[in-house]
Structure 1
Amino acid sequence: MTAIEQTEAARPRGTRLPRRARRNQLLGAAQEVFVAQGYHAAAMDDIAERAGVSKPVLYQHFPGKLDLYLALLDQHCESLLQSVRTALASTSDNKLRVAATMDAYFAYVEDEGGAFRLVFESDLTNEAAVRERVDRVTLQCAEAICEVIAEDTGLPSDEAMLLAVGLGGYSQVVARYWLASGSTVPRDKAVQLLTSLAWRGIAGFPLHGTEGH
């Protein structure tokens, strides 16, 4: 039973959901439809039916399909960014930071709702508003990683940013491959392997103000 079905089953018949709860319900239904069908094949009728509401109710909250898609994209881009920031702040040990950040991407991709597909595998990237959001969260995640690299290594910001973009892109691409391929490697082992590979590279830059690594 999905979260939508559980909510509906628990709610007494004849009652109305508060506006925020209804909006969240509609977003949940839309996510299921968009992930399963893609943006272009999805229809507002499908989303309304999935949510168990009439189309007028759906349009009261979201004027159109693109508005609904962008609201979901905003929600899940923010979720990814917060996960990366939390991972970076979780420890002062840099190797553990690399592992935590890798795991943040793997956890995001592995989430059963499949929201990462809206961010990393959207069929609507030719839409300027979608492209802008995807580019922005990619940049913001890289900036968060860059800040740590620059602080610890003393590298110029543009050099640290190149490393940060590389680490972020490496993490999400491999995590998506791991999921899509149905790899038998457990998530913790996959993160350990990738952390070892990444750490061998990033550890080659000495800590700022020290002679050692």
Structure 2
Amino acid sequence: MAGRRLAREERRLQLLDTAMAIVRAEGAEALTLARVAEEAGVTKPVAYEHFETRTGLLTELYRRIDDQQTEAATTALRARVRSLEETVRILAEAYVDCVLHIGKEFGAVTAALSSIAGTEELLREGRERYAVLYLRAVERFVSLPEGEGKALMLGVVGAGEALAREATGGRLSRAEAVRAAERIMLGAVSTPGRAVAEPRATPR
């Protein structure tokens, strides 16, 4: 790929693929724009033109991971689900499986961003976007008090992140991580006395 002139978007994707490969092999500490340019076979100005700073590169990697996770859950939910339990299982499996597929890059990129001042909002927005997706899915079956649902789902997402990291590190099996994520989400939304609704239209 480096031997021919790529369109701008193709080049950006190539650089992101190269950056992800570096993180996978050596961790986020090894990631610099100069290193990405060298591995991709382009000049440093090309890498700087696309991302400007190392923080900009990490931000784009995080957004790519976040998009993959959201797409995995959305795709899984397109199947017809008939119960809250089935919805929760699909969400838990999609999240854990996506993180396992991405591998240790998930934790490395988020940890690197967490150590950089000014990136808190980016990470918060990512967690919030996923929490809203969860909330829309479970509210087809259970009525949550106004204002409480989003807070509950933010807690569920945080727990899912921790469990997925444990599975990625080999400290939990995939089945254990999924089962724990299911139980946490069901526990969050299935407080006695809450009404369970008939399923509404599947979210798009």
- Give TM-score scaled by structure 2 length: 0.77
1:195 equivalent in alignment to 2:185: no
**Whole-angstrom distance in 2 between the partners of 1:190 and 1:124:** 23
1:105 equivalent in alignment to 2:95: yes
Cα offsets for 1:145-201 (capped at 9, x unmatched) = 223334432222322223222322222211211221344x3x246424543564366
1:127 equivalent in alignment to 2:117: yes
1:18 equivalent in alignment to 2:7: yes
Contact 1:145 1:164 in 2 (8 A): yes
Aligned pairs (5 A) from 1:1-213: 14-35=3-24, 36-38=26-28, 41-90=30-79, 91-112=81-102, 114-118=104-108, 120-128=110-118, 130-183=119-172, 185=173, 187-188=174-175, 190-192=177-179, 194-196=181-183, 198-199=185-186, 202-204=189-191, 205-208=194-197
Judged with a 3 Å threshold, the aligned counterparts in structure 2 of structure 1 residues 119 and 55 are, in CA distance, closer, same or farther, namely closer
Judged with a 3 Å threshold, the aligned counterparts in structure 2 of structure 1 residues 159 and 119 are, in CA distance, closer, same or farther, namely farther
Counterpart amino acid of 2:116? N
Q: Cα RMSD over matched residues?
A: 2.8
Shift, 1:89, TM fit = 4.1
Q: Structure with the greater relative contact order (CA < 8 A, sep ≥ 6): 1 or 2?
A: 2
**Whole-angstrom distance in 1 between the partners of 2:109 and 2:94:** 15
Aligned length: 194
Where does the alignment leave 5 or more consecutive residues of structure 2 unmatched?
Answer: 199-204
* 2:202 equivalent in structure 1: none
Percent identity of the aligned residues?
24
**Whole-angstrom distance in 1 between the partners of 2:103 and 2:77:** 24
Helix, strand or coil at the partner of 1:73: helix
* 1:11 equivalent in structure 2: none
Shift, 1:78, TM fit = 2.2
